[in-house]
Structure 1
């Protein structure tokens, strides 16, 4: 009767294991102990396997301990189930510890135990350990199964090791283990993670040649590969090819294709895909909406962005912070400052914690609108709300001050930046100089140039006959040229007529180009031609200009006349200050008024 009861309990426990019901299985095992029914190794193996189904690794380990207490021999099948339980719970370290205990106990691990350990490494993203286990299996003359190889390929996929994933596929063929759909899906995904879109598409096409059925997962991975490298055309083509091969796209498919359009700045294609989701009866999710609104933001298309946001709300999907950030970005090109503030306030009203991206996006809108006062207030708010905004935030407000003609405030902000122990670089100095230039404060801009050169932020690449503007922005280059021209004119006024005085100005490409044209080059040409009214000679490649000696002497004569006129008007100290400043530091402080033609 007792034996019959044990058989019945064993069968019932096996049924629980097959159904993945670990709780009633363990309860049944406990009832056996209460009824003094002795459980054997088979029953414990079944109970541990049930724990594996439910990812109950701790209970599986407790059962292993109970087996030791009952002096029941643990075999490879017992440990395989426990290792599998640890693997499902992503406890790869415990799984490998169990495998080591198995070896130390003199038990040779079987294919199931090794495969379970590799799967544990795959779930724990330990691709290197998974590959080491494969090597160990071969040393033990164990032929890894397709399941073990698939786990190793998936581990490489999670570790973004696409080369190793493809190498494993080659090894499978050499060992006459045929890759299946899981293998191909993992390999395609591995290539997708690393942006290897050509290899991903090649694997997708090869599935047809080896008679392996393609599925949605394979196409999703291939489309993701195109998304990684911002190829919306290829991503869209793959999505529509799915219809030809009668594979239904899901929301992940559309999200990947729309994201490819977002990265590729293709708004029309993204909107078309978004509308196609309705035709395919695929409900957009948060990712879908955010991707479409984001591409609208990048293109400055705030009208469709607002329409999509309204639909998002009608569908009952709550906007996220990334949604509002993208919408604020959409207002930037139209300088819709008040709309940006309203969106920011709404995000805060519904309990979202605005971040640096939110503030930076709003500051960019304020810059476009030349709202320097409001951008300053927002910058102060950023400083109070959390960590300092960093240089990009200060740069945005500096640009707003420049556009709004508030050069004094720009210089105050520049001083504040230095007080915060931010080391201004070439961009910061350039923006401060640009603000001074736009406000007509040429003295301030030249002093900033001198300070930048002294600090090493801008290299002093000016000698007597060559001024190198490589690496400078257009506004900084203008200040450097004006300063150099003043120095050369002063020297030309004092030099003999036969002394060579030509100045070569190397413009290069500068930090900014406009339609392929160097912003530095065009700004320097305009300064020499329109402001100074001096002839110059561009070289044949357009990378530099030469201001001849006669032009410099002509400029010197003009300035002598101006200084003489100022002296007659009772301002002799201005010329004296200018000459004195030149002797001290080589800076023309009297450049506040531009020389007229």
Structure 2
């Protein structure tokens, strides 16, 4: 009697059941003509139900026949039941019938039965069980055929098991089976899903070697593998091969080739593919046109993106514009700092009922941030709830960065403090935007509190954030805190940069702590660093010496700059010349220094040639 399996111990325990059932001496002989007719009717009914995916009804017929016991069920009946389960994705029931019900009846599975059970596993993505079916076939002496291997390859293809697919393809050839278009197609598709473009092209090459003519599905699969891996050269070359070999590329072919170019930022190649498609009578559909817009966006060609968007609006093209394409065009404008066009496209999307989403608003807010339009960015943020949209962290980060760029530190810090109340966790971008606002407003107290809050919230600190904090202290002339932050950076895993030291040196410059400035300069000049001192570094150190009226170190630093082939700027020379000892003529002939200052000043003031 048919029962429902509760686990997959079915496969493991089936051998013993089959052995016991096959020794049953009471099994009746061949069926009569009346029984054969009844079996044919039962099989036909179960087949019809299986095709309609009515597996429960098919199994009900099987169970009724089992309970009557006046009809000897054969392999064909059980194979039909297994096939019905496979169509209904009931792989467990299919295996129960194979390994329990058939074993109880003393029936030996054949190729068809095993293939049906394997297909049931394949349809539900159980590729490991499909492989187990192959092992059981060999154990029972059943020879796998091409259908077996095609099913195995299809199971591996669904699970993106490209290496297994290649293994079974080679195994089929080793058994002198002639792989067909389906066999090779499943192997190519497995490679495509596994992002193995070179393996997919290799299988396609094998088809010619074995005399199998690839169809458009095979070539499209290999081209799609190239597209997913961004191998636009191979994709375009494959497209050219199709055209030269009289294959007829379809819309799927051109879409894959165009998408490969799009992912590789090859907008001109993408346009060339679209032209080739039009020459073959295949007009760009929504997918191809969207890929064109996206390729322009990735290549920073905002005007071209708007041009393709305008083509989609042509009533004669009858293309339905979607939000994804509109967002790609907005993103192109955002990346190219075209904030006014981004706002225009947002208004346009709302006017044609495209229902802009959070992604749309984020791109427009970012465009406003790049265009230093903080008021517009803030208006977008506050207007989102009216559109039933909930701003996310990306939205807040864009608006905070816009406020920081507009030197509205109070707006940026207010938005930063509101994040926790909105269940949003600040990230390194949020912290960087808030810290930049503190730096722009010389709000070193706020910068310190912000750093303390970040440590308390265990936020990841970046070198950029710490540099902004040091710069805020420098603008506020708080050199002690700037130096403390620099030392904290050195004690952490953050990568030090010249910006960090220059900001700290600039904070120390007017404090008169010339010894400390020289210590920091020596740290910069250490061979362990991957950066070199520049004019700003020496200028700040010379300025510190000037504040401390230390003319000897100042002149020494000036000499170091010359030896390092750094041309002293007017600030460094002016700071040295303003030292009273220099003005009195000690250590250096004042006219020489003044002449150098004058030459540098004339160079800086002279118009560019």
TM range (shorter): 0.7 to 0.9
Counterpart among 422, 426, 431 of residue 535 in structure 2? 426
Structure 2 segments unaligned to the other structure (5+ residues): 1-73, 90-118
Number of equivalent positions: 494
Report the Cα offset of residue 5 of structure 1: 4.7
Q: In the alignment, is the contact (CA less than 8 A) between 1:20 and 1:54 conserved in 2?
A: no
Match of 2:572 among 460, 476, 494: 476
Query: Judging changes above 3 Å, is the alpha-carbon distance between structure 1 residues 109 and 5 closer, same or farther for their aligned structure 2 residues?
Result: farther
Q: Please tell me whether the aligned partners of residues 157 and 186 of structure 1 are also in contact (alpha carbons under 8 angstroms).
A: yes
Moved more, 120-129 or 415-424: 415-424
Question: Distance between the aligned counterparts of 1:341 and 1:355, measured in 2?
Answer: 15
Measure, in 1, the Cα distance between the counterparts of 2:540 and 2:120. 70
Contact 2:373 2:402 in 1 (8 A): yes
Match of 2:388 in 1: 281
Q: TM-score scaled by structure 2?
A: 0.73
Partner of residue 217, structure 1: 324
Query: After the TM superposition, which residues 485-504 of structure 1 pair with which residues of structure 2 at under 5 Å, given as runs?
Result: none
Deviation by residue 1:212-250 (Cα, 9 ceiling, x = unmatched): 111111111101101111121111111111011111111
Residue 448 (str. 1) matches residue 566 (str. 2): no
Q: Deviations over 1:382-415 (max 9, x none)?
A: 2222365121111111111124443332223212
Partner of 1:101, secondary structure, is helix
Contact 2:489 2:496 survives alignment (8 Å): yes
**What CA distance in whole angstroms lies between the structure 1 residues aligned with 2:351 and 2:275?**
30
Q: Summarize the alignment of residues 101-250 of structure 1 with structure 2, pairs less than 5 Å apart.
A: 101-209=206-314, 210-250=317-357
1:270 aligned residue (355, 366, 377): 377
| Aligned mates of 1:70, 1:6 — CA distance in 2 | 25
**CA distance, structure 1, for counterparts of residue 591 and residue 331 of structure 2:** 64
Distance 1:30 1:93 in 2: 29
User: Is 1:83 aligned with 2:185?
Assistant: no
* Aligned-partner Cα distance in 2 for 1:456–1:53: 64
Question: How many angstroms apart in 2 are the aligned matches of 1:113 and 1:309?
Answer: 53
The TM-score normalised by the length of structure 1 is: 0.74
Supply the distance in 2 between the matched residues of 1:245 and 1:43 (Cα, whole angstroms). 53
Structure 1 counterpart of 2:56 = none
| Contact 1:26–1:47 under 8 Å retained in 2 | no
3-state SS, counterpart of residue 419 of structure 2: helix
Residues 1:92 and 2:197 aligned together: yes
Aligned to 1:290: 397
Distance 1:69 1:101, change over 3 A: same
For the Cα contact (< 8 Å) 1:119–1:151, is it kept in 2?
A: yes
- The 1:294/1:50 distance shift into structure 2, 3 A limit, reads farther
Moved more, 17-26 or 182-191: 17-26
Cα offset for 1:118? Answer: 0.9
1:366 aligned partner: 473
Structure 1 window deviating more from structure 2 (352-361 vs 245-254): it is 352-361
Please tell me whether residue 408 in structure 1 is matched to residue 515 in structure 2.
yes
Partner of 2:424: 317
Where structure 1 has 5 or more consecutive residues not aligned to the other structure, the ranges are: 459-471, 493-500, 511-520, 522-540, 545-597
Partner of 1:22 in structure 2? Answer: 124
Structure 2 CA distance for aligned equivalents of residues 491 and 195 of structure 1: 52
Q: Please, which of 442, 449, 456 is the counterpart of residue 349 of structure 1? A: 456
Tell me, in whole angstroms, the C-alpha distance in 1 between the residues paired with 2:590 and 2:546.
21
